[in-house]
Structure 1
């Protein structure tokens, strides 16, 4: 058993002292090839400090060797020492055969630091050197996809598929191309790529992407089939249940939509969107009690959840539970600035409770944002008339008559207000 085999054996066996002895022996008396091979093995096994020692020793002997610098930089990246890794990579000369590899690693490091323009420049520089190297096209495609530059990413992914290889760095290109096409809103174009990826390997995230894209494309039956397949493979994949429910809703099967909600909540009881969607389905089924239960649960999970507050208020106003409406609005006010629609809800609630000053305050707070909403202006105008505020009511009904000059009721009201 040679030194390399011995050390790996001791490391895997947990005999760290014996491994350290072999490492010292290699450092002192091993040849350079043995040191490099052992360093590579140590890096693969995750013994970073030991690998770093050997690479540093080798670099002291061969200070201009790009391959050693790249390997040492990879160790430093694994050790979260990106700055030192960049220094080593930047020191590699353009004529070195390892220079393109260094550029790829630098691009990845700069992207992680948010310096995407620098990252792109490094990749384009590498492509100038190795114009037909697929891994560079893959890296560029991944960068463009992450930046939402979908057209450029799609072009590169499509070119990669023409090489005959469909997997790079462990990434299935068919799946990735499907994802990017879907992100670009090209849902029907994306579907065959997802299907091809799944024919090669059933992978749950790809299956979800396929199902979601089918849903977005309007193929609800197909999406249901795929979401159900995913639920069988991984019932804990909680993201599927909301869209499964939406597919059933689109197919006008509210009972199964509600069942999807219940199944999802059983898996993820902290999913506010599921509770909110369940409330809307319950309303469509005329189950107001269940709808309120779901809306209130959504608000428990997120007290500032606007959609839940608005839909719950709509239900409460319908039920003439005005005190409850005000309670919801007070809760939302604690979370910060509130939506103008909530001010309008409050105005309606206070008006019906005959608390007219509070109603006026909320009408005024909603006005700037809702002054182009005819229904709001009409409600506000009639409220002002009831309160005897004819001057302000006049300005409101002038706005309304401008929006709808043929509305005879508003014309008549406007004439009476102007006469007075």
Structure 2
């Protein structure tokens, strides 16, 4: 054993070639326990094939030894031979002390292969064999969580939490918080987020906490947490939109816009930041900023319909009807479409005295907005001005069915008829 220790020390001291040469010589004269120790060191140092050779040799003498089989399976996994590893693990008896370990390893392998149900079966089998194994509950929780089955994961995480707040480097309070948040139970998630950041204040947990507080309508808490995250990690680009929205809901429009501008400096190609900056700019009365950000959002994504509609609305309010037509027809040429485009184009072209085109757009829009009183009233008046009284009468009658209180329309109909 002394020579074995000396050889290992040589490798660890950097005399790798000499140390490995000695170890290979010792293999022929060592006891089985010493051979196993040599294999462990080979494996630790990355000499996987050498470790494999020794373990296979030992298995010739001890073919049913579970510890050796698990070791060989781990080696096969490192050699990207997962199927072989599964076959090896299947040989381990349920009475072997390492049986549960083998089931956990099999569960990992089947999970890697995308066989979720098989992995779950192995873990549940392991739990039957040893109900008090915290690591099994953790594995089940992680499995369910990774497949979006958050409701299933929560009881297992809570079982783990009753024993440990952290396992395998994972903050269990954080996991429970994420699971509750993912299922829409934002109120339930918040105390677990609070406990999680007391233990470990990392960026992802802070963002989850801030996002969940926002979703739960605790906007002041969202501002507090996301501001702390911004101070900790200003490059965490996801925080800016929700921090800005929280400020906006609380009526702090200037602060909201400042946060959005900061976010755009971090992530200039984030179309949502530009879009929301455009919307908030309307609230603070910054016209140049409105158009700049909305056009930037559309430039980043020409198919960003929500931004196109917002830009069109702004241009209509500014009575820039030619710009409305240019904006919408440009994106439609790329194949983008929304029913609101028809109404906006109809209104803009009417104002530009392009009556024939306006009529076509109004008629297309009618199929989408025939139950919208505002549209029917606008369309009806257009038809009258265009000399199409009969068609206007039908449109106004439909309007009155939706809103019988439109007495001026009723009077107009009486005059027309």
Asked if these proteins are the same fold (TM beyond 0.5), I'd say: yes
User: 2:82 is matched with which residue?
Assistant: 82
Check 1:343–1:160 CA distance in 2 against 1; reply closer, same or farther (3 A cut): same
Given that 2:10 and 2:18 are in contact with CA atoms closer than 8 Å, whether structure 1 keeps it comes out as no
User: 1:151 is matched with which residue?
Assistant: 151
User: 1:219 is matched with which residue?
Assistant: 218
Matches of 2:83 and 2:210, distance apart in 1: 42
Superposed, 1:12-411 pairs within 5 Å as 13=14, 15=16, 21=21, 24-25=24-25, 28-163=28-163, 165-389=164-388, 392-411=391-410
Q: Report deviation, 1:55.
A: 4.0
Check 1:403–1:109 CA distance in 2 against 1; reply closer, same or farther (3 A cut): farther
TM-score, normalised on structure 1? Answer: 0.86
Q: More displaced, 211-220 or 366-375?
A: 366-375
TM-score, normalised on structure 2? Answer: 0.86
Q: Report deviation, 1:286.
A: 0.8
Check 1:24–1:347 CA distance in 2 against 1; reply closer, same or farther (3 A cut): farther
Q: More displaced, 50-59 or 315-324?
A: 50-59
Given that 2:222 and 2:246 are in contact with CA atoms closer than 8 Å, whether structure 1 keeps it comes out as yes
Residues 277-323 of structure 1 show CA distances to partners (whole Å, capped at 9, x for unaligned) of: 11111111011111111111222222212221121111111112223
Check 1:228–1:386 CA distance in 2 against 1; reply closer, same or farther (3 A cut): same
Residues 134-174 of structure 1 show CA distances to partners (whole Å, capped at 9, x for unaligned) of: 111112222233344333322222222222x1112221111
Check 1:119–1:402 CA distance in 2 against 1; reply closer, same or farther (3 A cut): farther
Q: Report deviation, 1:370.
A: 3.7
Check 1:166–1:283 CA distance in 2 against 1; reply closer, same or farther (3 A cut): same
Matches of 1:40 and 1:366, distance apart in 2: 74
Identify unmatched segments of 5+ residues in structure 1: none
Q: What secondary structure sits across from 1:336 in the alignment?
A: coil
Given that 1:4 and 1:38 are in contact with CA atoms closer than 8 Å, whether structure 2 keeps it comes out as no
Q: Report deviation, 1:105.
A: 2.7
Given that 2:316 and 2:348 are in contact with CA atoms closer than 8 Å, whether structure 1 keeps it comes out as yes
Q: Report deviation, 1:52.
A: 4.2
Residues 305-347 of structure 1 show CA distances to partners (whole Å, capped at 9, x for unaligned) of: 2221121111111112223223332343355342222232233
Matches of 1:55 and 1:368, distance apart in 2: 75
| Structure of greater Rg | 2
Given that 2:72 and 2:85 are in contact with CA atoms closer than 8 Å, whether structure 1 keeps it comes out as yes
Matches of 2:251 and 2:262, distance apart in 1: 18
Given that 1:207 and 1:226 are in contact with CA atoms closer than 8 Å, whether structure 2 keeps it comes out as yes
Matches of 1:391 and 1:45, distance apart in 2: 90
Given that 2:303 and 2:336 are in contact with CA atoms closer than 8 Å, whether structure 1 keeps it comes out as no
Q: What secondary structure sits across from 2:153 in the alignment?
A: helix
Q: Report deviation, 1:388.
A: 4.2
Matches of 1:332 and 1:14, distance apart in 2: 68
Q: More displaced, 45-54 or 94-103?
A: 45-54
Check 1:293–1:129 CA distance in 2 against 1; reply closer, same or farther (3 A cut): same
Matches of 1:236 and 1:217, distance apart in 2: 25
Q: What secondary structure sits across from 1:215 in the alignment?
A: helix
RMSD after superposition = 3.1
Q: What secondary structure sits across from 1:261 in the alignment?
A: helix
Q: Report how many aligned residue pairs link the two structures.
A: 416
Q: What secondary structure sits across from 1:237 in the alignment?
A: coil
Matches of 1:168 and 1:47, distance apart in 2: 29
Given that 2:214 and 2:222 are in contact with CA atoms closer than 8 Å, whether structure 1 keeps it comes out as yes
Matches of 1:382 and 1:293, distance apart in 2: 34
Residues 101-127 of structure 1 show CA distances to partners (whole Å, capped at 9, x for unaligned) of: 233233333334433223322222222
Residues 4-35 of structure 1 show CA distances to partners (whole Å, capped at 9, x for unaligned) of: 774685488495x5566456446555443334
Identify unmatched segments of 5+ residues in structure 2: none
Q: Report deviation, 1:349.
A: 2.6
Residues 195-229 of structure 1 show CA distances to partners (whole Å, capped at 9, x for unaligned) of: 22222222222122222222222332332222222
Given that 1:295 and 1:309 are in contact with CA atoms closer than 8 Å, whether structure 2 keeps it comes out as yes
Q: Report deviation, 1:402.
A: 2.8
Q: What secondary structure sits across from 2:353 in the alignment?
A: coil
